[in-house]
């Protein structure tokens, strides 16, 4: 009884095909009978030339080759078969009655014969040898194919590992899949944390009539549900989800329990199991690469965010440190200024009174005197008196306290503009205002007028050739913002941090107390004043005053 394991995966043809090459009709017929009984189909030829032609045309699963034939002998046919890529791997058994010498056997095996069988032969031995050689050749081909697949996957892994940017990776994955597996187009879908499609990339080897259909998020969501197992699968013309493509492969890109996306190849010809296996390996490598890109992106964002936080915190600490230093400095100067003002103010009044009496007496006696010198003395005393008054204003040591009310900023600024309009017009300074009605602040109208007057006079002095003074107010949350901006000469960068220090002035005739006192007044109103400047372009002072919690109520009527 002759048995043969007809495993379909072993054969190219169904039923499997044998090419019998023998110039003896009886032997050829016997070979045909033997193999047909175990389920083969058999094609018979009687010479070497015909054997080569049929082998190249049919690519049979097995060749039985006689040695002695007219024209080309069996060794010459075998040599020609092994020289052609299409036929060099077909299992071939030399069946001979004459080439029995050891050197004949050696020559045939060196040429690539898979086995040697002498006539007459036992049918069961022939079938057993045929089965063994077909399986061996199949295993060899599988091993070579798997080796190529592993080499390809190693190459894919290496290229994926060299790419850590998500955008580049989304182009690389379908392109590499198309390089290794012939197909019309490759598509990758990317999912977000909620499982929704967040993006798709389509790479095509030929022009597609409707590429948008492949990038459709609805198809990706449907395809994910279509995949019952976390492995790649194929479809054919009978169950295709995309009518324009007869076949395709699709695989989930999973990392652990998370589905990162889908990878798909589409074609017009079926994919075999070998290509499906390779495709599944590419998908697994792609999933790892995508996860690495995600982690790199998270790490990069975290590093950037951390760097920004550190920079922001550093600026805050520097600003706080500068504020503490300034407050400590101002507090010390305040105590010093109060003492100086007190000590200077006491002798000033009698000196002024006596000087006035002296001028009056000298004038009545008509004695010729140098009134210019006395006038200079009087001006100097008045200058000292002003400095003392400003120091007292800053230290809060005035004899009468500030009159605090709910006040609107807009009317105060309009009053300062009216008071200085003629001076500004004479200086060729254009005034621009934007003073909408805003909530009131709680403070001293007189002190705020002093601050606004000082900023206006400073702006006029900073524009000796004329320019524009723009004053605007706005509400920012729980604060009123007031801006005085001029187009003057500006303040040098090395001076901008010192303009609020006492006795520092960029004006030749300045006392250096105007902005110092203004800083103290705004601070006493729980506000802030800062300056921005560019030499040759102008300066902007920004004042922020808090809105009192009852400031939104109607202001009381003034008497």
DSSP string, 13-42: SSS-EEEEE-S-HHHHHHHHHHHHHTT-EE
Asked whether residue 85 carries a pLDDT value surpassing 80, the answer given is yes
Nearest alpha-carbon partner for 475 in 443, 525, 436: 436
Q: Which residue has the higher pLDDT, 226 or 105?
A: 105
Q: Is 555 within the bounds of a domain?
A: no
200 pLDDT above the threshold of 60: yes
What's the pLDDT score for residue 471? 95
Of the candidates 353, 377, 395, which is a domain's last residue? 395
* pLDDT at position 187: 85
CATH of the domain at 270: 3.30.450.40
CA 200 – CA 188 distance, rounded (Å): 6
Q: Residue 361: which pLDDT band, with cuts at 50, 70 and 90?
A: low
- Least Cα distance to 518 among 393, 386, 345, 385 occurs for 393
Chain segment 377-402, per-residue pLDDT in tens = 666 676 677 666 666 665 554 444 56
Confidence of residue 369 (pLDDT cuts 50, 70, 90): low
CA angle 168, 169, 170 (to 5 degrees): 95
- For 306-332, letters b (16+ CB in 10 Å) and e give eeeeeeeeeeeeeeeeeeeeeeeebee
Q: Are residues 262 and 165 in the same domain?
A: yes
Same domain, 133 and 30: yes
| Position 224 pLDDT exceeds 70 | no
Per-residue pLDDT band at 558 (split at 50, 70, 90)? very low
Percent of the chain with pLDDT over 70: 75
Better pLDDT: 103 or 2: 103
pLDDT for 390 equals 63
Across the range 113-126, mean pLDDT stands at 82
When pLDDT is cut at 50, 70 and 90, the band that residue 1 belongs to is very low
Number of alpha carbons in the 13 Å side-chain half-sphere of residue 216: 11
In a domain, 558, yes or no: no
Task: Tell which of 395, 421, 442 closes a domain.
Answer: 395
Q: Is the pLDDT of residue 4 over 70?
A: no
User: Which of 101-110, 172-181, 365-374, 447-456 comes out lowest in average pLDDT?
Assistant: 365-374
Same domain, 348 and 417: no
Per residue in 416-440, pLDDT tens?
Answer: 888 888 889 989 999 999 999 998 9
Residue 539 placed within a domain: yes
Give alpha helix (H) positions in 59-122: 74-83, 102-111
Give the whole-angstrom CA distance, residue 274 versus residue 267: 16
Name the residue range of residue 467's domain. Answer: 404-546
Residue 421 forms part of a structural domain: yes
Domain assignment present for 552: no
C-alpha angle with apex 494: 491 to 499, nearest 5 degrees? 60
Residue 346 belongs to a domain: yes
What's the pLDDT at 399? 44
Find the CATH number of the domain harbouring 16. 3.40.50.2300
pLDDT single digits (tens) 467-491: 999 999 999 989 999 999 999 999 8
Q: What is the pLDDT of residues 496-524, one digit of tens each?
A: 888 888 777 777 666 667 788 888 889 88
Residue with more model confidence, 538 or 374: 538
Please indicate, yes or no, whether residues 466 and 438 belong to a single structural domain of this protein.
Answer: yes
Helix axes 371-395, 514-524, angle to 10 degrees: 20
What is residue 423's predicted lDDT score, i.e. its pLDDT?
Answer: 85
Q: What is the pLDDT of residue 116?
A: 80
Q: Are residues 168 and 256 in the same domain?
A: yes
441 within 8 A of 545, measured Cβ to Cβ: yes
pLDDT tens per residue, range 274-310: 788 888 888 888 888 888 877 777 777 887 888 888 8
pLDDT, tens digit, 9 for 90 and up, residues 10-63: 777 888 889 999 888 888 898 889 888 888 899 999 898 998 999 999 999 889
Residue 69 sits in the same domain as residue 171 = no
Do 386 and 291 lie in a common domain? no
Q: How many folded domains does the chain comprise? A: 4
Predicted pLDDT at 129: 84
The chain-wide mean pLDDT, for the chain, equals 79
Whether residue 243 contacts residue 237, with contact meaning beta carbons closer than 8 Å, is answered with no
Angstrom distance (rounded) from CA 391 to CA 344: 11
CB-based burial label for 263 (10 Å; 0-12, 13-18, 19+): buried
User: Are residue 296 and residue 309 in the same domain, yes or no?
Assistant: no
Distance CA 195, CA 185 (A): 24
More confident residue, 35 or 217: 35
pTM (2 decimals)? 0.42
Instruction: Report whether 479 contacts 551 (CB < 8 A).
Output: no
Q: What is the pLDDT of residue 283?
A: 84
Residues 280 and 317 in one domain: no
Model pLDDT, residue 553: 46
For residue 344, being part of any structural domain is answered with yes
Are 286 and 384 in a shared domain? no
Better-scored residue on pLDDT, 466 or 108: 466
Instruction: Check whether 257 has a pLDDT greater than 80.
Output: no
β-pair type (41-45, 17-21): parallel
> Final residue of a domain: which of 282, 300, 318?
300
Whether residues 12 and 141 fall in one domain: yes
In the predicted model, is pLDDT for residue 204 greater than 80? yes
Asked if residue 557 belongs to a domain, the reply is no
- Cβ–Cβ < 8 Å for 301, 491: no
**pLDDT reported for residue 245:** 76
Give the pLDDT band of residue 228 (cuts 50, 70, 90). low
Whether residue 26 is found in the same domain as residue 131: yes
pLDDT > 90: percent of the chain: 15
Domain CATH code at residue 460: 3.30.565.10
Instruction: Classify 269 as helix, strand or coil.
Output: coil
**How confident is residue 414, by pLDDT bands cut at 50, 70 and 90?**
very high
């Amino acid at each position: 009884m002759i048995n043969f394991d007809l495993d379909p995966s072993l054969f190219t043809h169904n039923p499997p095909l044998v090419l019998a090459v023998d110039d003896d009709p009886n032997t050829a017929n016997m070979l045909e009978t033997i193999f047909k009984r175990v389920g083969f189909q058999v094609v018979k030829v009687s010479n070497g030339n015909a054997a080569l032609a049929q082998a190249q045309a049919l690519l049979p699963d097995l060749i039985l080759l006689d040695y002695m034939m007219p024209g080309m002998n069996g060794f010459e046919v075998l040599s020609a078969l092994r020289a052609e890529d299409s036929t060099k791997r077909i299992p071939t058994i030399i069946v001979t009655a004459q080439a029995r010498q050891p050197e004949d056997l050696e020559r045939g095996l060196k040429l690539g014969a898979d086995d040697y069988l002498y006539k007459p032969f036992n049918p069961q031995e022939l079938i057993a040898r045929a089965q063994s050689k077909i399986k061996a050749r199949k295993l060899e081909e599988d091993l070579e194919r798997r080796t190529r697949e592993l080499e390809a996957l190693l190459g894919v892994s290496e290229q994926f590992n060299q790419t850590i940017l998500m955008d580049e990776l989304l182009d690389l994955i379908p392109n590499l899949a198309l390089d290794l597996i012939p197909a019309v187009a490759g598509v990758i879908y990317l999912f977000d944390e909620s499982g929704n499609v967040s993006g798709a990339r389509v790479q095509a080897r030929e022009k597609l009539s409707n590429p948008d259909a492949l990038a459709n998020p609805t198809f990706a969501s449907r395809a994910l549900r279509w995949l019952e197992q976390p492995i790649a699968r194929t479809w054919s013309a009978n169950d295709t989800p995309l009518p324009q493509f007869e076949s395709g492969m699709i695989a989930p890109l999973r990392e652990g329990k998370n589905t990162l996306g889908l990878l798909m190849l589409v074609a017009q010809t079926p994919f075999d199991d070998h290509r499906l296996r390779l495709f599944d390996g590419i998908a697994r490598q792609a999933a790892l690469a995508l996860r690495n890109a995600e982690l790199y992106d998270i790490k990069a964002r975290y590093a950037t965010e951390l760097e920004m936080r550190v920079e922001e915190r550093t600026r805050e600490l520097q600003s706080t440190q500068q504020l503490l230093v300034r407050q400590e400095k101002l507090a010390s100067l305040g105590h010093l200024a109060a003492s100086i003002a007190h000590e200077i103010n006491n002798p000033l009044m009698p000196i002024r009174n006596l000087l006035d009496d002296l001028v009056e007496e000298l004038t009545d006696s008509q004695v010729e005197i140098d009134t210019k010198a006395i006038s200079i003395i009087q001006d100097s005393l008045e200058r000292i008196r002003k400095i003392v008054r400003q120091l007292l204003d800053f230290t809060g040591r005035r004899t009468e306290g500030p009159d605090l009310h709910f006040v609107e900023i807009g009317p105060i600024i309009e009053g300062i503009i009216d008071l200085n309009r003629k001076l500004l017009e004479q200086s060729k300074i254009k005034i621009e205002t934007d003073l909408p009605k805003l909530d009131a602040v709680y403070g001293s109208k007189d002190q705020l007028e002093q601050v606004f007057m000082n900023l206006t006079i400073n702006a006029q002095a900073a524009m000796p050739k004329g320019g524009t003074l723009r004053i605007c107010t706005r509400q920012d949350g729980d604060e009123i913002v007031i801006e005085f901006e001029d187009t003057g000469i500006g303040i040098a960068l090395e001076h901008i941090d010192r303009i609020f220090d006492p006795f520092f002035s960029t004006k030749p005739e300045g006392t250096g107390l105007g902005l110092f006192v203004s800083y103290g007044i705004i601070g006493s109103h729980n506000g802030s004043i800062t300056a921005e400047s560019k030499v040759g372009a102008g300066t902007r002072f920004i004042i922020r005053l808090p809105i009192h919690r009852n400031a939104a109520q109607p202001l009381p009527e003034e008497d």
